[in-house]
Structures are given as C-alpha cells and as structure tokens.
Structure 1
C-alpha cells in the first residue's frame, strides 16, 4: 500500500475542529506522527505507557508536529500464564501490529513512534515499522526495578530479585522448602514498582533486539520504568522520549526509513547480541515474524547458525543473578555490543535510528577493562558459557520440522539426557502430577496439544518449569512441549515442537513409559521407538475436536491462519 499524505488529515477541518484541535495549527503541522500506544491500567508492564504517550504528544507539538494516538491490546503474560486465557498472549502480537498499521494509514500518518512494553508488544512494535516502512522508531517504557530480601538463597542476589524469584519461591513454599513468613517477605519486596519483568526474559529480550537491530536509541532497552509504584515515569524514560522525537525528525530529514536499518546484517547483529545476553526462546518466533515483515530472508536455521557461534556474556537472570537494571547502571546493551564489536561478532557499518552507524554509536562506549571490577558482563575470552550452550534448534523423529532446546548456559551433565515419558494432553494435568509428587528424577514431562492450533495460541508452560525448579527437579527432569516457554524458564527444556500434536505431529504418538533421548551435540530429539510403531500409533490418530474453539472468535480466526512455530506463528 502506498503511504497516504498527511494533507488528508490536515485538510479535514470540520473533523479536526470537532476532535478538539485548532484547524489552522493542524494545517501547518510539520508532521503527523502516529504514536502507537499499547496502554492499559491492568498491569505493571504497560501502565506507564499513557504518561509516555502524553509526553510524546507534547514533545512533537513543540517541534511543530501533531501526534495522533493509536491504541492496541497489551497482554501481560504474568497475568495469563497458567490460566485458561493464556492462549490470548501470542495471538495479541499480530493483532497489535495490525492495530498500529491500521491506525497509521487510516489517520494519514507521516511517521511513527511505537511504544513497546510487555512481551508481545515488543515484537508488535517492530512489525508495523517494517511492514509500513514509515519513518519511525521504538521507545521502551522500561523494565521493573528489582527488590531484595535478607534470607535464603535470595539474599545472595542483593537488589536483583525479579518475578522469577517470587514464582520459584511460591513453588518452594508449596513444597515446604520455605516458611510462610519468608514467602510473604518475597511477595512484598520483589516488585517495588512498575515495568516489565526485570531480567533477560521475553520483554527485555525484545527491547534488546529493538536496540541491537538499530530501531531504538542506545541505552533504551534497559532503563527502569520508575522509581516506585507511587511515582511517575523514570527520568531515563523521559530523556529517551525527548531524544526519540529529535531522532525521528532527523530520520525524516535524512530520508532514513526502517528497511534502510532493518537489513539482513542488522538482523545478524540483533541475533548475536541477544544470544550473548541469554535471551528468551520467544525471540525465535518474533524474529521470524519481524523478518517476514521486513522481507529479509532469515529462517529458523539461519538464527541457529548465527547464535551457535556466540558465547554467553551477560550474567543476567534466569542463568545468572542480575536484573536488567544492573546492566543499565554500567551502561546498558551498548556495553555488551562494544565487546562483541571488538571481537568481530558485529557489523559496525549498519545504519541506526541515530542517523549514524552502529560503530559510530559505540565509539565512545567504554570497554570492559575500563569499567573496573564487575561481573555483570564478561569478556568474549572468558564468557559465562562458551558458544552453543544457550538455545539450539533440534530435529528428530519427534520434531521433523524443528524444536528449540533451552539450556541458558547450563550443560547437560552427560551430554545426552535419556528419560522416561510422562505424557499429558494439557498443562493443567501436568501441573496436577507435579504438585502431587508424581514426577521424579529421570522423567521427561511431555505436554502436547498446546501449540499454535492446539492451545489455541501456544501458551507458555512457565508455571510447570517454575514448579520443577521450586521442587529441586530442574536438573533431573526434562520438559518437552509443542507449546512455548517464558524467558523466566530454565532447566532442560524443549519447546516449539513442530509439527504440533494438533496438526498430526509425531509428539501425538508418545505414550507413558516411552524412552525419549535429547542430544544437544547432535541437535536431536528422538522417541526411542521403531518407526513402524510410531506409524502404527499415528494411523489411529484423530484431530482434536474443533468445537473447542468458538466460531467467529479471535482464536477461531487464528487457528485457521497461523503457521507452525517453525515459521514464527505468523498469520
């Protein structure tokens, strides 16, 4: 679609006046800027977006422009995980992207500032920019400031507690491993204010991708949202908003559009950076979707090929002790990128929203040796974990297309995990078994029919992984699923199994007691059952009852259109 001229909005004097604008001033506006704003007061991740939106309107007006606000749903994974509505989270990514596209074109925008936030709005922020190629950039509302307590294993983390600590503490309380008083202290202290989940979970993974790909200003991926729930937005967020408006006008003056920035080499930079920082498995789904919008030929094996060469440098949760704001305090994502650039891992010549190249942006960023003693970011020569020890794409007779293994720097002790299948056709049934103590060392928990179609909406199995960690089973029990995982999740985890069970994938053939073999070095996931037996079992397979999805609903549309996780669950 060809970009409509903003003169259509400017000349609609009767509409402009009725909406409360001055038609004469509107006619002279230097630019009509779409402010893509996924605000809600329902949760901490995006409850600061309205204040940021109002600030942007004022800042754009000061430049002689007019900001027009476009809304979209902002779904909090923290509120939906483990509930019957969990399948709405991933679906919301594409709905939000569509909302921003519609609002931009329908209101004749010249440019776009997209405010991201919780997980799916992070991906949805980049998708319409790539799709429309309108002048624009991304602004992050910020991550949550961490908390602290003075007891148990959490005391060692200092002021770095995140929602992961509370969730694992809840599971530990259920298992009788901590007292009720200790759990209450965790609950009261873990989140002193608003913002997205505070470590290298999916929201911060996506903010990192936005910055590393060049579509967010430097230092924009790691700032805290506020200094407490009762106050306003953090001063670093306000400073980023001011700088972002200035940057937007420079982009328009210089004629630099998103697809000039979001090139194949820029995607390689983003993949490299997020691997070095220990990003979430959800990055695969979202990178594939964003690449499709940018018309960049990045597939799942290409992400694997880039990521497997990158050592783990950032000591952030879930694989380390630190929160994202600890990284921000020493310089943010540019500190990691400087180390990667110096080691030859990044393309320094790519353009960014500053109007400068990546190398120019990083020129004055201090090197690790100039930071002094710290263990938040490690050098390439002495990483937290060597390359190929974070997320890997696997295949095998259980995943003919692909699946993702998440280790987060933790290696399987013997290189290969062989376990006995415990099969569940829902997350709820798996949860009952774990809580009842029925899952023991050496089990492989198989959760199926929770994929993009089966879920529907591919919910996250994070509550199961938290239960396993909280009960001390994280290193001895594997979990495999055609669903997905939160960035909070850690352990021996395989998700995104494709094809999914509800589409006739061989995960539907697994039975209790079967042997399952995970080989990270060979990158395979196999059911140790003869091919003929798998074929015999699948011959009697029937698709799930379609009536479980209400006709005409969002899910009804989604299951008819969505691709497999192998292609990014695009619609």
Structure 2
C-alpha cells in the first residue's frame, strides 16, 4: 500500500455509518476523528507476560480519545516461553512470531488504520512488534507492557543477590533441589518469593532483549524498555507504564505531524545501534533470529555476518542476569537503557545522528541523560574501559564442518581458560531423551551434548533447550559440559552453549553425521565448531543419512505443516 493510500484509508472506516452504529460507535463523532490508530495488542489472561496488555490497550483508547483519535484494538496470540519450554508445545513459540506480525498487519489494513501503537510483551511478541511497523511503514511506535519485579530469599547463594531474583533463580533452584543441593523447604521459599507480580522474565533474557532492541533502534520512547509491569500480582499497571502510554500517544501525533515513518527510523545505522546496545547488555542469542527477521521486513540489508562484525567490538558493560546478579528493574531505577547508551555514545560506539520516535536524534535524546560519573557509585552499568567482560566474549558466530552455514556461541562474558573446549560427543535426537540422561546422572564433565533434529523443520518450530541448560547449571556442570544444538536457547541460558547450527539435521546438515564418542572442538578464538573427522568420513556417514519421518509430527494443514514448508534456516532468521 502506498503512503498516499495509507493517508486516505481511514476515511472508509469513518464513513461506514451503519457498521459504526452497530458496533457501538457514534457515527457523527467518528466522522471527526483525527486519526484511526491500530492498537496492536497480544493480550491473554493465560500468563503473566501479557496479562496486562488488555488494560494498556483500554488506556490507549482513552488517551487517543483525548486527542480526538480513535483506537481500534487488534489481537494476536501470545505464547509464553515460560509455559511451553521443555514441553511438546515448545515448537509453537518461534512460529508465533510471524503469526503475530501477520495478525497485526492484517488488522491494521483491514480496519483502515492511519497509524499504529504496538504493545509488545513476551519475547516473540517483542520481535513481532517491530515487524508490522516495518512492513506497513504506518506511523507508529512500540509500547512495552513491562518486566516482572524481582524477589528475594533468605538463603544462599540467592540471598547475596538481594531483591534481584528472577525466574532463572527459581528454575535453577528446582534443578538444584532435584540434585540434592538445596532442601525442599528452600525451594518452596524460592517459589513463593521469586516473582511478586506480572510481567516478562525480569532480567536480560529474550523479552528484555527485544524491548531493549525496540528502544535502541529508536522505535520506543526512552526508558520504555525497562519499567516494571506492576507492583504485585493484585495491583494495577505500574505508574511508569501509564506515563509511557500517555507519552507514546503524544509522540505518535508528533510523528504524524512531522511525517516521520518507521523506515525513516529503522535504517541500517539504527540496527547497528540496537546490536551494539544489546551486546553491551548481554542480550539473548534469539536477537540474531529476530533482528534478521525485522530487517527483512524493513528491507534493510542486514546479515548474520554484519551482526557479528558489530557485536564483536562491543564490551559487556551491564551487570544483568544471566551473566550478572541484577534484574532489569535495577537498571530502570538508575535511568534504564539510556544510561547504557549514553556510555556507548561517549565511547564512539553508537550513531548519534539517527532519528527516533521522539522526533529527535539519538544524541539529542541522550543529551540530558546523566553520565556514569554523575550517577555515582553503582555496579549495574560499568564504564566501557572497565567492563564486566572485554569485547568478543558474549555471542559469536562460528562455522565449521558441522555448521557450514553458521551457528552462534553464547559465553555471556565468561571465557574458556584453555581457549577451546574439546569434549566427547553424547548425541541425542530429542530434548526429552537428553533430559532423561542428565537427570539420570549420565552426563559427566568433558562431555559435549549434541541435541539435533530440533531445528525450525526438525522441531518443528526450533524449540529452546533452556530446561537442559538449567539442569546443567543446577547440577554444577555449567563450566564442564558444553551443549550444541540446531535448536535455540532462551536468554535465561548460560554456560558453554552453541545453538542455531545451520543447516539443521532435518535438512541434511552435517550435524546429522555426529555419533557418540566423536570428539567435538569448540574454538572461540578461531570462531570454529568442528567434529574431529575427515571430510571423507563425514561424507560417508551423510550418504547413509535419511530424513526424519514427519509422520506423527506434522498434521496436514496445521500451522507446523505450513511452517516447515516455508521457513528459512536460522542463518537467515527463520523467516517465512
């Protein structure tokens, strides 16, 4: 749709008097509407991540009415990874990203919207929030419903974190209790206190990675990526969310008046700012998949190689979970993502001249943000010259004879003391079988767990292997056992982890050739992942390979059936 067509589109809705009256609108008042605004909102009462979205959508309708606008609410499914991970339905999470984006695009055009405010939430809705804005180029911005407030407990090692406990602490505590490392009573204390209210997972996991991406790319107002969702489970939405909602409506009208659209903001330089900021904050490996998908929607020529080039020069300067002790709301309390971006801008790592949804440049937005020196003593954000970890110690793109396209290594600021990890392969063709082996105590130090046939096609839907990584951490194996997979990881995951191996096993990728007892070599310095086999031996094994039988996995006409026919590899962002 052309921009001229977009400009005129809402007249169709405003003039549909019979339809308007029947739907409960006043046709005379509606005819005077200043703007028809799509409120794209993936609400559900099923989980904490997006259960505040309905209230925010209603608030936006009220705020738009104050400006003479009309908010039209468009829905979409919201999948909580916290509820699907480790279950047979985990493969619906990544698939939902593109479905949500489609729903918002359809709703916007079908209801003749002039502009769009997208309410994000759990990680895939966070990625999907930016995609329809990029596709439609309708005036708009993103509003985050908020992250969960952290909790605290009285026993170690968690007591030392203070009020910074997140769902990661409970998950790892559960694994520790299974292994006999904490008591049942201590696990109950964790359960009752770790998460007082609603909101997305409370640290630098994928949801907050994507909220940070939206803010850093310029499509969300400053400090919008880090606010808490509420005060507790019984409270109303947080005052900071209300303030952001009002400010977002005002910003939307300024964007329309100035003629500033998403593609004026979502340039390659803006994507580079987002990559830099997310690396500096220790974001999730999922950002690779989502940045590539968003860039494709915006027709920006971003590649996995370019993400690596930008990311490898950025030190890790925020001390957030999973690599540090702090929750996202601790960052919010000292000023939020702008504090991180101010330090990066001062170090020459950001493009300050890019436009944002404030109608001002990034540098102009950050002009009044205090420096770290002005903030004073704190350990949540460190100077670029004194980082949590030096550059090139967070996420790296690797290649090798079992990942000829690419894969991603997540170290989260930790280093491999010997420069490489060399271990013995233990191969599994499902997450469930891997979990059984870990819980049975079969995984020993020096093992490289290989989980395959869990990619975008093999999964289907590329589920996250987070429950496996949590078990390894809970059992004290996080530094001595590596895990490689053609599946994904959650932002919660930390350890020696390689995901997104492409091509995946189900499409004949050479990870399918690996057998128990093979030696796997991970070399972060050389950025390689290899099995210690000759090319001839790999070719011989692959000649015997047969594609997995889809029977029982794919129901004809189902979402997954369509997905596996269309989806690209992780190397290209699993786009459809």
TM-score category of the 2 structures, normalised to the smaller one: over 0.9
Q: Which runs of 4+ in 1 moved over 4 A?
A: none
Equivalent of 1:62 in 66, 75, 89: 66
2:102 is matched with 98
1:557 is matched with 562
1:402 is matched with 406
1:427 is matched with 431
CA-CA distance at 1:546 after TM superposition: 2.2
The separation in 1 between residues aligned to 2:180 and 2:388, in whole angstroms, is 32
1:256 is matched with 260
2:344 is the counterpart of 1:370: no
2:265 is the counterpart of 1:223: no
1:465 is matched with 469
Equivalent positions of 1:106-185 (< 5 A) are 106-185=110-189
3-state SS of paired residue (2:74): strand
The separation in 2 between residues aligned to 1:75 and 1:152, in whole angstroms, is 33
2:197 is matched with 193
The separation in 2 between residues aligned to 1:552 and 1:187, in whole angstroms, is 40
3-state SS of paired residue (2:326): coil
3-state SS of paired residue (1:207): helix
Equivalent of 1:523 in 513, 522, 527: 527
Equivalent of 1:44 in 48, 52, 62: 48
1:494 is matched with 498
The separation in 1 between residues aligned to 2:562 and 2:32, in whole angstroms, is 42
Equivalent of 1:238 in 236, 242, 248: 242
CA-CA distance at 1:531 after TM superposition: 1.0
The separation in 2 between residues aligned to 1:453 and 1:14, in whole angstroms, is 47
1:388 is matched with 392
2:513 is matched with 509
Equivalent positions of 1:526-541 (< 5 A) are 526-541=530-545
CA-CA distance at 1:152 after TM superposition: 1.3
2:555 is the counterpart of 1:544: no
2:417 is the counterpart of 1:413: yes
CA-CA distance at 1:150 after TM superposition: 1.1
2:213 is the counterpart of 1:206: no
3-state SS of paired residue (1:6): helix
The separation in 2 between residues aligned to 1:133 and 1:483, in whole angstroms, is 32
Equivalent positions of 1:12-31 (< 5 A) are 12-31=16-35
The separation in 1 between residues aligned to 2:417 and 2:241, in whole angstroms, is 43
The separation in 2 between residues aligned to 1:311 and 1:341, in whole angstroms, is 13
- 1:435-491 CA-partner distances (Å, limit 9, x unpaired): 000000000000000000000000000000000000000000000000000000000
2:499 is the counterpart of 1:477: no
- 1:107-135 CA-partner distances (Å, limit 9, x unpaired): 00000000000000000000000000000
TM-score normalised according to structure 1 size: 1.00
3-state SS of paired residue (1:242): helix
2:421 is the counterpart of 1:450: no
CA-CA distance at 1:239 after TM superposition: 0.1
Q: Structure 1: 5+ residue runs without aligned partners?
A: none
2:572 is the counterpart of 1:567: yes
3-state SS of paired residue (1:404): strand
- 1:256-281 CA-partner distances (Å, limit 9, x unpaired): 00000000110010000000000000
The separation in 2 between residues aligned to 1:568 and 1:190, in whole angstroms, is 33
CA-CA distance at 1:85 after TM superposition: 0.1
